[in-house]
Amino acid sequence: MMNHESDEKDSISECYDRSVLLLKNNSQSQGVIACTRSKKAAGRRYVSIFGRDASICSLGMSVSDNLQ
């Protein structure tokens, strides 16, 4: 039983770390882009700043101890 709790905490920690990294990587001087840059994303014109996505990202940034 204890191993399951430890695995769950490890999973949550990994998800948190990956989320912070994603927010950092998608932060631009003009704001937060909607998705990570890739050829496919650029082809769909999705590597832009959209108000809804930037707003949701800002909520994550505001509760993160790793982002300013």
What string of DSSP letters covers 45-57? T-SS--HHHHHHH
Reported residue count of the chain is 68
Q: Which residue has the tokens 């909520």?
A: 59
pLDDT on residue 67: 58
> Does any domain span residue 52?
yes
Measure the CA–CA gap between 53 and 26, rounded to whole angstroms. Answer: 11
Higher pLDDT, 19 or 66: 19
> Does any domain span residue 68?
no
- pLDDT tens for 26-62 read 888 888 888 888 999 899 988 889 999 889 988 888 8
Supply the DSSP symbol for 46. Answer: -
Please say whether the beta carbons of 26 and 67 come within 8 A.
Answer: no
Q: Which residues contact 31 (CB under 8 A, 6 or more apart)?
A: 49, 54
Provide the residue range defining the domain that includes 46: 2-63
Query: How many structural domains is the chain composed of?
Result: 1
